[in-house]
Amino acid sequence: MATISSHFRLFLCLLTTFFTFSFAIRPKHFNISTVATHWSTASATWYGSPDGAGSDGGSCGYGPAVSQAPFSSMVTGIGPSLYNAGKECGACYMVKCTKHPACSHKPARVVITDFCPGGKCAAGHAHFDLSGTAFGAMAKPGQEKHLRDAGDLQIRFARVECDYSRTNIVFHVDQGSNPNYFAMVVEFEEGDGDLGGVSLKEENSTKWLKMVQSWGAVWKIDPGRELHSPFSIKLVSQYSERILVAKNVIPSGWKPGSMYRSVVNYL
């Protein structure tokens, strides 16, 4: 009996150690970089000019940046199921096609910059309304036109980290901003940097003021009083909850419509 009891105690000890270790190594928050790529099926169309950036702007608020590096026209409008009322603006996906003779079977990385609200975009589980450039990137070399002529195409897609070749995060001040109201577009969050929260801190203050998502990638604050720059901006990833702080990134004397580049990013 003593031998059985000691063996049982040893078993319980090993079992407890296993579960303790299992929970200890489990990440507290979902992180795209630690999750295996999962491919799903969607439909895809394209819009705009054949070699363009779709709408050359879009509902996320990026404006002309969609056709410039690092977006470089590799962008997409997305149906309601993935757009998530603009919260997924800036999210990155790999897309590839295999069902058409012109398909290369190789994935291309695209960024959500626009919304496709109805018709085919709202009919299925997921729909990508790609720029002409992004749609053609799924083709074999020299077969881009043939693939675009296919119209509605079945594709495979997977959520992935964004990679802007170490481009730092940029803050584009909204044209409607003034001393009592501040709004901005946050651009080029790498990695799992989809934003779950944005805060602003004024000069000589220790208090972070919460900003709210206005629409798309635009975040705003309307405190009912004058704001005192320079401003530091705090970003919280909605997946890993990692925090980044761009200290004094919006300078004194900032101008509506101006862009201010930080020295931080998620990769």
Please state, rounded to an integer, the average pLDDT across all residues of the chain.
Answer: 86
Q: How sure is the predictor about 36, in pLDDT bands with cuts at 50, 70 and 90?
A: low
Query: Which pLDDT belongs to residue 191?
Result: 82
Tokens standing for residue 183: 């709004």
Separation of alpha carbons 117 and 126, rounded Å: 12
Count of residues making up the chain = 267
Q: Identify whether the C-beta of residue 183 lies closer than 8 Å to the C-beta of residue 200.
A: no
What does the pLDDT look like over 205-235, one tens digit per residue?
999 999 999 998 999 999 999 999 999 999 9
Please tell me the CATH code under which domain 38-160 is placed: 2.40.40.10
pLDDT at residue 85 greater than cutoff 60: yes
CA distances from 219 to 11, 47, 195, 216 (A): 54, 27, 10, 8
Res 23 pLDDT > 50: no
Round to whole Å and give the CA distance between 229 and 252.
5
Say how far apart CA 4 and CA 12 lie, in whole Å: 12
Tell me the per-residue pLDDT of 102-113, one tens digit each, with 9 for 90 and over. Answer: 999 999 999 999
pLDDT at res. 100 = 95
Mean pLDDT (whole number) for 226-248: 94
Q: What pLDDT is stored for residue 135 in this prediction?
A: 97
- Residue 142 is predicted with a pLDDT of 96
With a cut of 80, say whether residue 16 has pLDDT above it: no
The domain spans of the chain are 38-160, 170-261
Sorting pLDDT into bands at 50, 70 and 90, what band is 13? very low
Question: What confidence tens digit (pLDDT) does each residue in 151-178 have?
Answer: 889 999 999 999 988 799 999 999 999 9
The pLDDT assigned to 81 comes to: 85
Q: How many CA atoms lie within 13 A of 216 on its CB side?
A: 22
- Residue-wise pLDDT for 55-68, tens only, equals 877 899 999 999 99
Query: Any idea which fold 170-261 has?
Result: Immunoglobulin-like (2.60.40)
Helix (H/G/I), strand (E/B), else coil: 172: strand
Which of 106 and 193 is assigned the larger pLDDT?
A: 106
176-208 exposure pattern, b = at least 16 Cβ within 10 A, e = fewer: ebeeeebbbbbbbbbbbbbbbbbbbbbeeeeeb
pTM of this structure: 0.82
Which comes out higher in pLDDT, residue 78 or 6?
78
At residue 22, the pLDDT reads 33
